[in-house]
A and B are shown apart, each in its own frame.
Chain A
Amino acid sequence: MLRYTVHRILLMIPTLLGVAVLIFFLLRIMPGDIVELKLLGEGASVTPDVLAAERARLGLDKTLIWQFVDWMGGLFTGDLGVSMWTERPVAHEIGIRLELSLQVAIMATILATAIALPLGTLAALFRDTWIDHTIRVFAIAGLAVPSFWLGMVLILGLLLVFNWIPPLTFTPLYEDPWANLSQLIWPAIAVGYRYSAVATRMTRSSLLEVLKEDYIRTARAKGVYERLVVARHAMRNALLPVITVIGLEFAFLIGGLVVTEQVFNLNGIGKLFVQAVAHGDYTLVQALVMLVASFFIIINFVVDMLYAWLDPRIRYG
């Protein structure tokens, strides 16, 4: 197990390096100039020497290789640099948004898991009955309805019924749990519904697959209670693909809730990502890509570890 874990950790390093090289050079290929956008964005008349001075200030007058060396040097020393647009440290820009994004992702994951596991199991156990059909309609609707649209419907519903909308600014959970939850529960529901639909379908199909296996038939033949067959023998194996789906969805939620964050005016990583790309803020985009890539890699690692824990064949394979 230790050898497997070390091997998986070592694989993360070249992956992250590859992402760093790709994102750095791909960004520079894209046309557009942050300095022009920043200084001329509202039609101001700016002399070329002012534009040149600003480019120099941001280090954009250096060769690409030197810019890359500077950035990599910073990465290795834990310095993500300064946002070219806001001129504040990138770590600060990300830090103040990460708490909110993580909380929404965790709340949505808890909600989705709490819905998906029982519903997926019920659908599999009562296959082709009205219970299965109802759950499948619920799941297909969840896949068909975009989260942001559900978010808009929720907001309009709250406005129409209560003449109220969720708070517009973030309050940490430890400061005021009520204010925090009254803001974040709605996006968690909007996102968690779609998320639960994916996980419900995966749980159902995976469990159906496992329930056909010989060892399940053997367990039943031995007279093991059906509840124990499902809980101890079937679920443990059926959970492998479900864990993968939950892990990948969680990683996606960290930076992928672009439109939902806009709908609820959440100051999250997704919105920051879009702004940074729109502004051509190289340092911020690079850091965000590295952050999201790291999340995916770490979550994949955790999923792999869970696989190994759940299935001994993987660890000794």
Chain B
Amino acid sequence: MRMKHGYPIALALLAAFALTSATAEAQTPKKGGTLKFAVLDEPPSYDCHRVSTFAFIHPVRPHYSTLLEFDPDKYPTIRGDLAQSWDISKDGLTYTFKLRSGVKFHDGSALTSADVKATYERISNPPQGVVSLRKASYGDITSIETPDALTVVFKLRAPNASMLANFASPWDCIYSAAKIKTDPKFPEKNVLGTGPFKFVEHVSGSHWVGERFNDYFEPGKPYLDNYRAIFIKSSAAIVNALQGGEIHTEFRGFTPADRDKLVGALGNKVVVQESPWVCNLVLAFNTEKKPFDDARVRRALSLALDRWKGSEALSKIAIVKPVGGILRPGYELAASPADLEKIPGMSKNIEKSRAEAKRLLKEAGVSNLKFKLTNRNVPMPYTPVAVWMLDQWRQLGITAEHEQLDSKLYFDALRSGNYQAGVDFNCDHTDDPSLQFIKYLSSDKSTINYGRYSDRTLDHLYEMQARTTDPEQRKTFVREFEFRALSEAYTVPTIWYNRIIVHAAQMKGWKITPSHYINQDLADVWLDQ
């Protein structure tokens, strides 16, 4: 019965938040225990370099280390993981990393600069038969040198403003040079890293288990004896499992309804952490199909969306909340409220925006526009966001038919251009503009641009922001890129995701970050039992 009343839930939420802040700093970590968490899907491969799903990161990342990593307490600040320190030359062309000493792989062999070199060579120049998804991120590297066992020097052909963020990518697990020299595909079937946990077993479709690596390079860590990632496909089953005490959490995210149900049922036995999320649903227009070849029509459809009111309503039922441009609101390079006000479709003055939308549609000769909105058959948040958009357009006399497709058919439609307008998504491990802007580049420069357009101005601005070493100058290029992209409205953001994590109160030492891909090595997590 408590679920029917908002007041007790609000109180419990407040109590849960209070508990988080009060206890986060105060307690001394305890050793021992097995952390059990759910993962909504299963890793398609064991090789970090060839995957891009959280279903890999959550169970597998605790086995590995990366050169750098994002500091969860000060995101997006970057700190060393295997690197103890680093230096960037004034011209931005040389990155020198000093590695920690005494780091061991789980088989007891010592990590040296040769392992880092071999790893990055595998990513940037994969051998025959090896798939490397992040090859392009390291396209600027001309050479990797190892002057001594603990020093690695990367030489670049041109400055790259995103290079440090790239080195902090959670996907770039450091492998043993000896193993990948013998068999470049070794990581596809084996797990051998220097991370806080050793691999124990993976039962396909069921679970993944890791145990503490006693020779982990950070003294005293990890705190847990083991972790057990359980593959659970259904969100409802995850909520039941958390309520029944079978798991401590799930690290991707819960819906507001799940959060309220769990807080209502378990009160202060659970803790809620929330954060804006580096993921958003975007509205993509196929510019090869009329009338979406006309910027006025695209812009009008963006102007018709009252994102601010939509955020208020949708955040109660869906995992969306912040309103922003191409970069996540709150990120240091994101548009300020004043900047947003100038971007078509982002203004809080919806009457003015809708009047402009009507004018543009009339001018384009499509006042009674009808089209099909292709969407992915994933309930959260694709369905509520699409339904909200349909209603927003209906208020302007626009009729959109909602077509929801299974993921495979959905990708096929978007990739082949067999759609008019589509709900697309943008999600990555960092807010860095060089990653976030890829979707908006010309289609011959970006494989994830489904708008099928070419805009050399955007491509040029992208290069400029990526190449400058002056942060202020980068900010200017970023603003110009964002304004142009959203004025042309080839692809426009809807409402940004809001990440909600509910976890057992006894799970400590884990802090939510804006990305579900980072802060997942579990080295700091402990159980208060």
B-contacting residues of A (Cβ < 8 Å)?
30-34, 36-48, 50-51, 53-54, 57, 85-88, 92-93, 96-97, 152, 155-156, 158-159, 163-165, 167-170, 262-265, 267, 271-272, 275, 278-280
Contact = CB atoms under 8 A, between A and B. Distances in A.
A271 B205 contact: yes
Interface residues of B, number: 50
Interface string B400-435: 000000111101100100000000011110000000
Contact of B233 (A39, A163, A271): A271
A165 B447 contact: no
B147 interface: no
Contacts of A40: 52, 411, 447-448
A275 B233 CA distance: 10
7 contacts: A33-B412, A41-B411, A42-B54, A42-B427, A44-B52, A168-B247, A265-B241
Given A50-B132, A263-B237, A280 B207 contact: no
B109 interface: no
Contact of A93 (B53, B204, B241): B204
Given A47-B447, A165-B246, A169-B207, A262 B233 contact: yes
Contacts of A37: 407-408, 411
A222 to B, nearest CB: 59
B327 interface: no
B129 interface: yes
Nearest to A49: B135
A264 B236 CA distance: 10
Contacts of A85: 44
Contacts of B203: 96, 169, 267
Contact of B406 (A41, A46, A87, A278): A278
A50 B134 CA distance: 10
Nearest to A87: B45
Interface in B243-258: 243-247
> Which of A169, A262, A264 is the most central at the interface, judged by chain B CB atoms within 10 Å of its CB?
A169
B45 to A, nearest CB: 6
Contacts of B367: none
A167 B246 CA distance: 7
B204 A155 contact: no
A275 B232 CA distance: 12
A31 B412 contact: yes
Nearest to A279: B408
A35 B206 CA distance: 24
B240 interface: yes
Contacts of A155: 240
A156 B243 CA distance: 10
B232 A45 contact: no
> Which of B52, B203, B408, B425 is the most central at the interface, judged by chain A CB atoms within 10 Å of its CB?
B408
Contact of B246 (A36, A45, A86, A168): A168
A43 B426 contact: yes
Interface in B116-141: 129, 131-133, 135-136
A87 B44 contact: yes
Given A42-B427, A45-B136, A32 B411 contact: yes
A85 B42 CA distance: 10
Contacts of B230: 168-169, 265
Contacts of A33: 408, 411-412, 415
Contact of B245 (A39, A57, A87, A163): A163
Interface of B: 42, 44-45, 50, 52-54, 129, 131-133, 135-136, 188-189, 203-207, 230-234, 236-237, 240-241, 243-247, 406-409, 411-412, 415, 425-428, 438-439, 446-448
A150 B426 CA distance: 38
Given A93-B204, A169-B207, A278-B407, A42 B246 contact: no
B44 A159 contact: no
B368 to A, nearest CB: 31
B447 A46 contact: yes
B266 to A, nearest CB: 10
A88 B204 contact: yes
Across the A-B interface, give the 3 residue pairs with the lowest CB-CB distance, nearest first.
A32-B408, A165-B244, A44-B52
Contact of A39 (B52, B234, B409, B446): B52
Given A40-B448, A86-B42, A92-B204, 12 more contacts: A39-B133, A40-B52, A43-B425, A87-B44, A87-B45, A168-B241, A263-B237, A265-B230, A265-B237, A278-B406, A278-B407, A279-B408
Nearest to B128: A53
Given A31-B412, A33-B408, A42 B237 contact: no
A265 B241 CA distance: 10
A92 B203 CA distance: 10
A267 B447 CA distance: 35
Contacts of A263: 234, 236-237
A37 to B, nearest CB: 5
Contacts of A170: 206
Nearest to A41: B53
B447 A96 contact: no
A36 B415 contact: yes
Contacts of B206: 96, 169-170, 267
Given A41-B52, A87-B44, A265-B232, A36 B411 contact: yes
A281 to B, nearest CB: 10
Given A86-B42, A155-B240, A41 B234 contact: no
A163 B52 CA distance: 37
Nearest to A48: B447
A262 B52 contact: no
Given A43-B426, A47-B447, A265 B133 contact: no
Given A43-B52, A54-B131, A262 B234 contact: yes
A48 B415 CA distance: 12
Contact of B135 (A47, A88, A93): A47
Contacts of B136: 45, 47
Contacts of B448: 40, 43-45
Contacts of B135: 47, 50
A45 B407 contact: no
Nearest to B237: A265
B244 A163 contact: yes
Contacts of A278: 406-408
Nearest to B426: A43
Nearest to A34: B408
